[in-house]
Amino acid sequence: MSALFTPLKLGNVTISNRLGMSALTRNCSSNTVPNEIMKQYYEQHALGGAGLIVTEGTLITRQGTEWQDAPGIWNKEQIEGWKRITDSVHAAGSKIYSQLWHGRTQNFNQPKPVYGPSAIVARGGKFHFLDGTPGYVTAAINVKEARFDGVEHGDPQFMAPTPTLSTSSSTPHPTSAPMNGEEVWKIVHAFALDALKALIEVYGPDVALKLSPAGGYNDMGMSLQETIDTFGYLLHEVNKLRLSYIALVCYSAIDPEFEDEKPATPHDVVETYSQFLPNTHIFINEGVSPDEAEEIVSTGKAAGIFIGTNWIAHPDLGKCIQAGKEFNNIQDDTTFYVIAGSNPAIGYTDYKEAVY
Ligand SMILES: Cc1cc2nc3c(=O)[nH]c(=O)nc-3n(C[C@H](O)[C@H](O)[C@H](O)COP(=O)(O)O)c2cc1C
């Protein structure tokens, strides 16, 4: 029997298998409001065998985004839109977490600074200033009202709330006096842990965290020692919070480059950080194949896995894996992010299921 297709209790909910769909921004809302085609998309993936779906990064405020049509969760209309999605995912037998999102760093060429924990601009950063004030607690309350099963505190490559990095976090405000390294780390860790504790106050045990200690996207990256010290300490503290899971994103060979530099920090994140997480379910993400997934879960290396990109062209990915089908659809990378004015179904909801 496949270990991957056994249930697992995460916080207050039980997922039917260990195969998650990780957050995938698709840029398809109607002016930040979740719409009918998004409902079809999430329902397809729930019916396609995802034990747990994590939504695309969901904005907590209008500002601090790269994607104009990413959905939000700061007003009633958005909550109602999400409710239709969570209800249809539940009816299809799956569970769904909301991934909360706010641009991590300042940006170049913005008329006003984006609210965020970092005073340093990110090379390649694209977070826009638009009106609005971030509010994680309000967003978490709204997530609950929208009947999500939990909330994932997003990956710092994309988001604000875990400013763990020396490259993304200096003083909390650009006009503050310079601080020494130890002072910086205190603020950095306190911010990340406070954000998680605030989410736990609203959501109890159904709060999760995604981390990419080896990642270089959006100008992340530190020396190996600094990376291990930073994430090791953070995860040691996070383990005490008894989150429902932690998703660890492994090093990707598709490593972004800035000014001829690759800021990512290659190392084995599962081997390095599992020791800090004895109380927490670990999910592994990044380029995991079906065979590796089965091996990871059956050997107890992790409680589950997340797949991202392959879910885009294979809405029935879970059923495919369970039935031993090949991933036969040809993925079109140009439709990863729905382009305003184009037919949103193309490359979004029109990929065919396998024949069973
Ligand atoms: C089109 C696209 C959009 C993504 N959007 C998000 C996002 O909103 N939040 C996030 O944490 N990760 C995002 N990711 C990263 C994926 O969740 C996942 O971590 C990554 O693709 C590695 O998994 P994979 O190798 O199975 O694709 C995105 C990836 C892709 C390809």
Going from N- to C-terminal start, the domains of the chain cover 8-335
Q: How many CB atoms within 10 Å of residue 254?
A: 9
Q: d(Cα 137, Cα 143) in Å, to the nearest integer?
A: 10
Average pLDDT per 10 consecutive residues for the chain, totaling 356 residues: 95 98 97 97 98 94 79 95 98 96 56 53 52 70 96 64 39 41 55 82 94 73 81 90 96 73 85 96 97 97 98 98 95 93 95 95
Question: Which residue's CA lies nearest to atom 2 of ligand 1?
Answer: 24
∠ CA 212-216-220 to the nearest 5 degrees?
Answer: 85
Report the separation in Å between the CA atom of 22 and the middle of ligand 1, taken as the mean of its atom positions: 6
Q: d(Cα 116, Cα 193) in Å, to the nearest integer?
A: 15
The pTM score is 0.89
State which ligand 1 atom lies nearest to the alpha carbon of 336: 1
Looking at residue 289, its amino acid is S
Taken as a whole, the chain contains a residue count of 356
CB 20 near ligand 1, within 6 Å: no
Residue 49, pLDDT score? 98
Which architecture, in CATH terms, is 8-335?
A: Alpha-Beta Barrel (3.20)
Count of alpha carbons within 13 Å of 42, Cβ hemisphere only?
Answer: 35
Residue 281, pLDDT score? 98
State which ligand 1 atom lies nearest to the alpha carbon of 337: 1
∠ CA 36-38-39 to the nearest 5 degrees?
Answer: 65
Residue 126, pLDDT score? 52
Which structure tokens are listed for 215?
């990642």
Could you give the 3-state DSSP secondary structure of residue 351? coil
CB 23 near ligand 1, within 6 Å: yes
Question: Which residue's CA lies nearest to atom 1 of ligand 1?
Answer: 336
State which ligand 1 atom lies nearest to the alpha carbon of 57: 8
Report the separation in Å between the CA atom of 307 and the middle of ligand 1, taken as the mean of its atom positions: 8
Query: Cβ(113)–Cβ(129) under 8 Å?
Result: yes
Report the separation in Å between the CA atom of 295 and the middle of ligand 1, taken as the mean of its atom positions: 22
Q: d(Cα 221, Cα 216) in Å, to the nearest integer?
A: 5
State which ligand 1 atom lies nearest to the alpha carbon of 155: 11
Could you give the 3-state DSSP secondary structure of residue 151? strand
Residue 161, pLDDT score? 33
CA distances to 148, 199, 220, 283 from 63, rounded to whole Å, are 23, 20, 21, 30
Identify the burial level of 169 via C-beta atoms within 10 angstroms of its C-beta, where 0-12 means exposed, 13-18 middle and 19 or more buried.
buried
CB 56 near ligand 1, within 6 Å: yes
Backbone angles phi, psi at 152, to 5 degrees: -105, 125
Q: d(Cα 188, Cα 164) in Å, to the nearest integer?
A: 6
State which ligand 1 atom lies nearest to the alpha carbon of 70: 8
Residue 213, pLDDT score? 87
